[in-house]
Chains A and B, each alone.
Chain A
Amino acid sequence: MVFHTQAEFADVRCVGIPRALLYYRYGPMWKAFFEALGREVIISPETDKALVDRGTALSVDECCLASKTYMGHVDWLLDRCDAIFVPCYASGDARQGFCTKFQSLPDLVRSTFREALQENHTVVLSCEFAHLGDAKERQKALSGLALSLGASPKEADRVYKIAIRAQQEAEKEATAHLEQTLKLHNNLVKLVAKDKSGQSEQPLSILLVAHPYITHDRYICGDVIDALLSMGVTILYADEINHKQAYKQSFDFSSTLPWVINRELIGAILQLKEKVNGIVLVSAFPCGPDSMTDDAIMRVIQGIPILNLMIDAQSGTAGIQTRVESFVDILKFQQKGGYVHG
């Protein structure tokens, strides 16, 4: 047993954060945290083919595309920083859990890169968040990490507050963006309605429902977004919804659904389905939580067309484009009155 007389990671100067998975949800908090501690923060670049290929080679075959991507990002960071931040988000609360992937990531990274980490003298920085709703636990986890990086207790407190504020602001901004998009779209609808010439087409809007690390990763979801935008469709991002409200609302849909992100997405669907023309579900193959929720959404949500797209590493742009185009055609047809009912 070694008793550490001083902070274990005090000499870490530069912290790397993989731009993948929960970075797209908690990135602002993590970044602000390490920057407030006076560390240099390196965030791996946007996903590209090389990163995905590297990650695929490093992962077990059956892993989902998003987690393979994560491994590629970690690999990129290995020789560029002193420490890589891989937090553990566990599912202590039965209804506010995550995919077990986020729970196993620290040990997965430590095992997969065991030799490489030693060679590069890189350490894995981590802390555990088991109960999402428990602010005290979150504070303890982050403060503990700050202490191990050599901060004083008082400083750890300050850093924690800065990190939380950054996170709250980022979420507020995202929600504002969603509301603004909705408002602009409604204005456009009104404008077109006023136009009596009948020349201009009715604008369409869709709700894009996917985990944030799918939606905002250009490599994974860019093709879908580009295809939609090129057809003049307004996109509302479901993950930008107010998390608390959406979470609460999701209980109308299901009482036992265990994953918090899926809950928020379903809450977003319930809130916004009257305000959009269609819903597009995107998931990375083979996503565990989505395997059970997408199917349920397709069966249960009625009165609105839903497109479910599964993205795989080898997906060609053409396949996605045709599918999105034909879906938008359905929406247009629907908007003009659809099939005449008996």
Chain B
Amino acid sequence: MASHLPGVDPARSAIAFEQDVQHEPRLLPKKQKKPKRDRHKRLKVTFFRYAYYEPAFRYFVEQVLDTDFLPLPEATKHSEEVGVQNSSDYVCTPFKHILGDFIDALEAGADILIQFGGPCRLGYYGELQESILRDLGYDFTLLNFSQGIEQGYFGFAKETLKVVNPDINIPYGIRQLLSTANMVNRLDTARDYYLANAGFEDVPGSFAKAWANFMDAMNTAQTDHDINQIFRDSMAEMRAIPNHKPAYPIRIGIVGEMFTAIDGRSNLNLDEKLVAMGIEVHRMLNLTNVIIRSRNEANLRLSAAPYLTYNMGPTSTLTIAAANQYANEGFDGLIHAKSAGCTPEIDCEPLLQKISADYEIPVLYLTYDSQTSDTGLDTRLEAFYDMLVMKQAKKQKLSRR
């Protein structure tokens, strides 16, 4: 939460000197010839922990890659600590979380790890993490989607076949890939409903229970038909939950950085905390809107034309466009969540300040690093909520007059 980065001393310095040259000056050793593959051994594949997307990752691993999925248990304090210990001090926080996850996964017996490629520092996560993990002595294969990025989908497919499983039935795999996309879409739709309504349940815990059922069911889905069926059932279950949603609830829009603004472990369960206060929460930022239904960036940018002329970074356009839309729709407040040192989102802040001033909408800026305290967050959220309630009451009083 600290607006000042921790541990800044005047001139931090370090000296590295390894007199004997033990290996070539390269991050990863040259690819050696692979040992012969054991056709009967099932490979265990793991993603890192990321919000509520585990069912989609599982589906991808089981149906598309045709390998075994190794689910990770809930993150512990230890997972975070090893991640922090083995990362450079001021690299962005998701890097540290993911590194900790990978160490957990390797110790649980994973053969293959999967890392996304993408813009900004994310594109370099995979290679650097692989190098750090190899230095720690782990042996594994990394499917790094940053590798094939120049060739687009074709490059990813080639990389996957080469690294993971050359026997993938390609037409079947493509169909299942589309189902994975469908699942991500369903997960996000259900999550949107949850965020907007869970704050007003009559019986505390009923939405959480429905959500847990939904996740369990999705984790067992085998086909596209399953996914749609489970989605329909779970939505019906959630809609049937008795609630007391007022006509004008406090509405908050969450914007921010791809990982921290969504992932509960990174943002200290921001979703649940807001919902528990009886707030209607909206978040345009999710995998569906960023990847699967990624809208034409240039058109999205036009929707926030007074603030944006160029694409400012990976999800900056979405951050500003969403904030602008929420402000236009008369939301009560905005929360901007990002990890410490996230350059593109830091650069969004001056623009958000202008939106805040133009529409008179309060914005709470949250910066998470590995030392952010849970109680500190509670206090800030409560203060923010109280302010929004007072502001709303004042507005209603004025309109009644």
Contact = CB atoms under 8 A, between A and B. Distances in A.
Interface string A250-272: 00111111100000000001100
A205 B344 CA distance: 37
B91 A302 contact: no
B178 interface: no
Contacts of B299: none
Contacts of B24: 252
Given A63-B346, A253-B25, A291-B341, A303 B19 contact: yes
Contact of B26 (A94, A114, A253): A253
A259 to B, nearest CB: 8
Contacts of A152: none
Interface residues of B, number: 69
Interface stretch (B101-109, B288-296, B349-357, B380-388): B349-357
Interface in B33-69: none
B91 A300 contact: no
A294 B87 CA distance: 12
B19 A257 contact: no
A18 interface: no
B12 interface: yes
Contact of A286 (B5, B311, B350): B5
Contacts of B349: 60
A321 B144 CA distance: 42
B203 interface: no
A316 B95 CA distance: 31
Interface stretch (B124-132, B168-176, B205-213, B228-236): B124-132
A111 B346 CA distance: 13
B146 A256 contact: yes
A299 B28 CA distance: 11
A103 B354 contact: no
A245 interface: no
A90 B131 contact: no
Given A106-B310, A286-B5, A291-B91, A305 B135 contact: no
Interface stretch (A3-11, A187-195, A306-314): A306-314
B27 A296 contact: yes
Contacts of A291: 88-92, 121, 341
Interface residues of A, number: 69
B141 interface: no
B15 A330 contact: yes
A300 B13 contact: no
Interface in A70-91: 88, 90-91
A105 B312 CA distance: 8
Contact of B20 (A99, A106, A302): A302
A62 B309 contact: no
A72 B238 CA distance: 53
B10 interface: yes
B117 interface: yes
Nearest to A88: B310
Contact of B14 (A62, A108, A298): A298
B115 to A, nearest CB: 10
A20 to B, nearest CB: 15
Contact of B3 (A62, A306, A312): A62
Interface string A33-73: 00000000000000000000000000011111000000000
Contacts of B120: 91, 100, 258, 288
Interface in A321-338: 323, 327, 330, 338
A277 to B, nearest CB: 11
A128 B308 CA distance: 13
A61 B4 contact: yes
Nearest to A251: B26
A101 B347 contact: yes
A319 B309 contact: no
Contact of A258 (B123, B313, B351): B123
Contact of A288 (B22, B341, B351): B341
A269 B16 CA distance: 15
A88 B26 CA distance: 32
A285 interface: yes
B269 interface: no
B124 A302 contact: no
B13 A323 contact: yes
Given A108-B347, A305-B16, A306-B16, 5 more contacts: A107-B310, A252-B25, A258-B120, A310-B13, A338-B19
- Report the 4 A-B pairs with minimum CB-CB distance, sorted nearest first: A295-B88, A104-B312, A100-B313, A104-B347
Interface of B: 3-5, 8-28, 87-92, 95, 117, 119-121, 123-124, 126-128, 131, 135, 144, 146-147, 149-150, 307-314, 316, 340-341, 343-344, 346-351, 353-354, 367
Interface of A: 60-64, 88, 90-91, 94-95, 97, 99-101, 103-104, 106-108, 110-112, 114, 126, 128, 252-258, 269-270, 273, 285-286, 288-289, 291-292, 294-296, 298-312, 314-316, 319-320, 323, 327, 330, 338-339
19 contacts: A61-B4, A99-B343, A100-B316, A100-B343, A101-B347, A103-B313, A106-B309, A110-B309, A111-B351, A256-B117, A295-B88, A295-B91, A295-B128, A296-B128, A299-B131, A300-B23, A300-B25, A302-B22, A308-B14
